[in-house]
Amino acid sequence: MGLLSTDGKPTKLTEDRIDRLYHEIDHPNRLEVRPYVDTAGMSGGESLLEDIYDTLGTGRNGGTFSFEWWFRDQLTVQITADDEDLSDIQSLINSQYANSRMETYQDPLPDAKVGEFMSVCRVDPQLDAIRPISYRGSTGDPLDGDPYSSTLPKFVNENNVRLIVQGCGKPISSKWYKRGCLGGDGDRIADSTKQGSLSIGLREETTKVVKSDLNEDLAKDMQTQVADETFRTTIRLIVIGPDKEDTQAALKKAAESYSKYDYANKQKLRPTYFKHTRNITEAEDVVRRRVRKRSPIGRFLHGTKNAMTIREWEGLFHIPNGSIEVPDVKWATRESGPGVPRESHTFKADLDLGDGPNQQEAES
């Protein structure tokens, strides 16, 4: 436990550590994607993820990919996968985001210098994945509306602090919701939740419910999502910067932005921070784009914890889609749309989002 911390502690980068992360670890190529706003791609996120799911396959040897936001002096979107899968994904992007500009790169992380600091955290669901991050038709659904306006400012930093928000995904079969000896399958858990009779789990996963309209809605979504295409998912954030305090503060600010996805069904996204050499160990997983999973015993006792449906992916990673209202981000030029940064090639930490009437008058 000495390698964990309530808010993390940055690790100083030495020449050996930089060499290991940048040169000694095999890492997939990454594709920088800038879909143009005047194509059908702004509503193509769900189809893109479904196609990626089918392309990578759900068998034991199914592929892994990552979707990443890179915040340096500019905001960019990166997709990584093994070379043969990346080529297929590039074709899929061409079909969903016609005329998009794509470039391939080999460097696994933003440039880092000896003497700079690195800090890493993971964001995990508190409960097993049969309890969704949100559910459909609910009042105040945190994946509904505009996720950019509340989360983008938390990812933007000054003082040469660079941030990557990474979601690694691996398609898993429709049996992901089998919850082991304590809970049974998703239908049993959903039915018990609906009836107000559910009491399962150990330690932090123990949960009790009461009969209510809220839990009836939750039960319906539990039953619906077991048929959805789903990725075993690991969410990581990594920050690199020249100042120790700036790096630590930037990571905490970004990680805590996931609290907006907390919901009444008690499913929460919680960051786990690291310190000392554990930051480097976690950074190695960032470079490899590795999906973490529970041990067989853990899955037997507690079920699958880090499975996320395509709809959850769309909202958590801000993939342009039709399920939630995503504003018109002009990815190619970083031009503004409602509720997102206005025309600029450099984002500011004190970003003033939105183009309301007062803003429009001030600019006229």
Mean pLDDT, the chain, whole residue set: 75
Strand, coil or helix: 38: coil
Residue % of the chain over a pLDDT of 70? 67
d(CA 118, CA 115): 10
Confidence at residue 276, expressed as pLDDT on a 0 to 100 scale: 86
d(CA 174, CA 227): 6
Out of 7-16, 58-67, 85-94, 169-178, give the one with best mean pLDDT: 7-16
Q: Is the dihedral of CA 347, 350, 354, 358 positive or negative?
A: negative
Taking residue 358's Cβ as centre, other Cβ atoms within 10 Å add up to: 9
Strand 117-125 and strand 230-241: the pairing is antiparallel
Does residue 48 have a pLDDT over 80?
A: yes
Which tens digits make up the pLDDT trace of 190-240?
777 777 666 555 444 455 666 767 777 777 777 778 778 899 999 999 999
Cβ contact 252:244 at 8 Å? no
As a whole number of Å, the end-to-end CA separation of the chain is 56
Does residue 22 have a pLDDT over 70?
A: yes
pTM value is 0.81
**Least confident window among 101-115, 180-194, 239-253, 326-340:** 326-340
Residue 7 exposed, middle or buried by CB count within 10 Å (0-12, 13-18, 19+): middle
Q: Which two tokens stand for residue 359?
A: 């803003």
Which band of pLDDT confidence, cut at 50, 70 and 90, is reported for residue 326?
very low
Residue 55, φ and ψ in degrees, nearest 5: -70, -45
Does residue 274 have a pLDDT over 80?
A: yes
Specify the higher pLDDT residue, 32 or 195: 32
